[in-house]
Amino acid sequence: MAKKITLLGSTGSIGTQSLDVARMHGYEIFGLAANSSVEKLLAQIGEFHPRVVAVADPDAYDRLEAALAGAADAPRLLKGAEGIRTLAAMDGADVVLNAVVGIAGLAASLAAIESGHDLALANKESLVTGGHLVTDAVRRKGVHLLPVDSEHSAIFQCLQDAHSAKRLTKILLTASGGPFFGMKREELAGKKKEDALKHPNWNMGAKITIDSATLMNKGLELIEAVWLFGLPEDRVQIVVQRESVIHSAVQFADNSVIAQLGVPDMRIPIQYALTWPDRLPSPAPELDFAALKHLSFDVADEETFRCLAACKKAIRKGGLAPCAANGANEEAVRLFLQDKIGFLDIGRLVEGVVDSEAFGGDYTLQDVWDCDAMARAYVRAHL
Ligand code: MG
């Protein structure tokens, strides 16, 4: 069946790989949204002919509008964060794939769900910052929440047998360990963005690559897994799997472990979210076991990589603590990428904000924005 997709974050790493999948299977693109990459967006519009395009950045919107002036089949254009929310809610797509980076993705996720769309979720911050709002809305609307993050797709794939899924006892969330695996604090203190941006296995955007180096990404994924699969934090074990071939595994009541393996290529989990429950041929290559030879395992060093410890603390505290951890991290990574703080400061600041308040209890969307702003202000006040 031909799918119609609205793709949010179309010019980023997940967005362009999603379009590889769409191209291969002839999926129709109803809507595209991007932050500011006008040139890439123009090429995508030329190839996929979306009906609607939303641009977050106002200057980029003006440039795109000027570039499309007079074009015969120009899409309808929407501006700003409001425009992206409007697009996410529009009829015309079977599924909304949200690959926006950061907490900016939360409002779009909620708009997609509230308007009755299935949501293919690559924006982990939607669940980290607003987990109870998102999961409540999914239940109320009866839509599907399809994980795109490779680890969560792996877990989801391992849980397709409903009988076994009821007997899930543990999640084994794999981690590559990032570029600084095995290093201690003394070595990490002097690391710059150039060092952190060299990821061994995955080709990703700058924000998530830094998060991978600090292990914040794994902390965010742990929180995401708790929301998606309903196990408490202490039943999610982080397993370092340096080759990124085992994308995660689950354990059942009988201590059987089922894992999902494949080459580290995001087009596999992206496609599964779009074809679920079916499987189709993939643009990604097959796993070559003869070349692979061995798989290695290790444990994550939470004493050194404090972001991971802070995220565990945050999900145990509950309420808006994960939102605070995420907001502090987004601000700290921004400052690190500007060479304004050191590598170890990121973990110090994220842990600091989690420790700064009690955080528990229910919250509204406005509370999420307020907590995010508080966490960013905390970071700027504690440099
Ligand atoms: Mg991941």
Distance CA 120, CA 261 (A): 20
How remote is the CA of residue 124 from the centroid of ligand 1, in Å?
9
The token duo for 67 is 């570039």
How remote is the CA of residue 46 from the centroid of ligand 1, in Å?
30
How remote is the CA of residue 61 from the centroid of ligand 1, in Å?
30
The reported pLDDT for the residue numbered 169 is: 98
- Mean pLDDT score of the chain, rounded to an integer? 96
Q: In 3D, which of 108, 131, 133 has the Cα closest to residue 120?
A: 108
Cis peptide before 285 (omega within 30 of 0): no
Long-range contacts of 192-197 (CB under 8 A, 24+ apart): 192/339, 192/343, 193/336, 193/337, 193/339, 196/336, 196/343
309-330 pLDDT, tens digit per residue, is: 999 999 999 999 999 999 999 9
Mean pLDDT for the stretch of residues 192-211: 85
Q: What share of the chain is helix, strand, coil (3-state, %, to 5)?
A: 50, 15, 35
Round the CA-based radius of gyration of the chain to a whole number and report it: 20
Residue located via tokens 């528990």: 360
How remote is the CA of residue 228 from the centroid of ligand 1, in Å?
14
- Report yes or no: 125 and 105 within 8 Å, Cβ to Cβ: yes
- Residues with CB under 5 Å of ion ligand 1 are 149-151
Q: Residue 265: pLDDT above 80?
A: yes
- Report yes or no: 261 and 247 within 8 Å, Cβ to Cβ: yes
How remote is the CA of residue 113 from the centroid of ligand 1, in Å?
22
102-156 pLDDT, tens digit per residue, is: 999 999 999 999 999 999 999 999 999 999 999 999 999 999 999 999 999 999 9
* Total residue length of the chain: 383
How remote is the CA of residue 149 from the centroid of ligand 1, in Å?
5
Q: In 3D, which of 164, 125, 122, 110 has the Cα closest to residue 147?
A: 122
Those residues whose C-beta lies under 8 Å from the C-beta of residue 243, and which sit 6 or more positions away, are 176, 201, 292, 295, 296
34-69 pLDDT, tens digit per residue, is: 999 999 999 999 999 999 999 999 999 999 999 999
How remote is the CA of residue 218 from the centroid of ligand 1, in Å?
7
The reported pLDDT for the residue numbered 59 is: 98
The token duo for 301 is 């060093």
